[in-house]
Amino acid sequence: MIASRKSLINQSAYVSIIGNIFLFVIKYWGGIVSGSIAILADAWHTLSDTLSSVVVLIGSKISVRPADKEHPFGHGRAELIAAILIGMMLVGVSVEFFTKAYNNFINHQSVIYTWQAIFVVSLSIISKELMAQYAFRISHKTDSKSVRADAWHHRSDALSSVIILAGIFIGKYFWWIDSLLTVLVALLILYSAYDIIRDASSRLMGNPPSQKVIDQVMEIGKTVSNKELNIHHVHMHEYGTHREMTLHINLPNNWTLERGHDIANELENRIREEMDIETTVHIEPLNKNKDTQKKTPS
């Protein structure tokens, strides 16, 4: 399972690196033959995407390392750190667009392109969107935040090419349209960066278990014992693909230690088998805290 996930993530990164290098060469050629500085800048922007893909590879490689003394729960969170780094790269891209839009507007600069530019920009839009869709599909299969961030990076490059293409057909009527479209896309990229960084940071700091997870744990608890276990204080700790859970249960006072241990052990095993979560169960006497029995899982 982990090996397959790592293979998909690496495959996505390699496709991204090869595709970006190819598009860099094509865009650079288009910028030279057409004399367009904008396309040359866009070519270097595409090449910068290769760096984000390298980050994905590094994050993927580190995340599957086994646990050690310094990292007893593994290295899965390295992938979240990689996603944050890519989000920060997107912030840099958006700032670059804002600056370029401001300079173009102040200088009353319009954009004029040749047919070679139209071909190169159109090819870039199609290629980058296909790469984005591919990366999104891999991120859904692997639940990889860093691959999802890389997909948004592809889309940001496609959107930057859309700006240039729009300038080809509209710029000759409104000299300022290129600057306006640049600002709009920069805002979209900035929001994407914010969403990526917020999500990865939240998971890095720790999120509560979802209601779906709690409901599944409660259902498993019902099959383990004919007594109401009153599962509560459910806490989740995520380390990439490795997840740790702690929870409390209530057992009758007259049960032996061995019997209580058997119930807790069975509950841990069932959660591991059905949910792939390592669980630690804390046992409490049934009447130790009557208020606890009325609490909903948290």
pLDDT tens digits for range 177-222: 777 877 877 787 788 778 878 877 877 776 678 788 888 888 898 8
- For residue 107, count other CB atoms closer than 10 A to its CB: 9
Per-residue model confidence (pLDDT) at position 293 = 46
Confidence of residue 288 (pLDDT cuts 50, 70, 90): low
Domains and CATH numbers, the chain: 2-205 (1.20.1510.10), 211-294 (3.30.70.1350)
Percent of the chain with pLDDT over 90: 11
- For residue 255, count other CB atoms closer than 10 A to its CB: 16
Q: The pTM is what?
A: 0.61
Q: Which amino acid is residue 88, in one-letter code?
A: M
Average pLDDT over residues 224-228: 80
pLDDT tens digit sequence for 148-174:
878 887 888 888 788 778 777 776 787
**HEC string for the chain:** CHHHHHHHHHHHHHHHHHHHHHHHHHHHHHHHHHCCHHHHHHHHHHHHHHHHHHHHHHHHHHHCCCCCCCCCCCCCCHHHHHHHHHHHHHHHHHHHHHHHHHHHHHCCCCCCCCHHHHHHHHHHHHHHHHHHHHHHHHHHHHCCHHHHHHHHHHHHHHHHHHHHHHHHHHCCCCCCHHHHHHHHHHHHHHHHHHHHHHHHHHHHHCCCCCHHHHHHHHHHHHHHCCCCCCCEEEEEEEECCEEEEEEEEEECCCCCHHHHHHHHHHHHHHHHHHHCCEEEEEEEECCCCHHHHHCCCC
pLDDT tens digit sequence for 112-121:
667 888 899 8
| C-alpha span between 63 and 74 (Å, rounded) | 7
Per-residue model confidence (pLDDT) at position 129 = 92
CB 180 within 8 A of CB 116: no
Strand order in the sheet with 278-285: 232-239, 242-251, 278-285
Say if residue 82's pLDDT is above 90.
no
Average pLDDT over residues 61-85: 68
How many CA atoms does the CB half-sphere of 98 hold within 13 Å?
Answer: 11
CB 143 within 8 A of CB 17: no
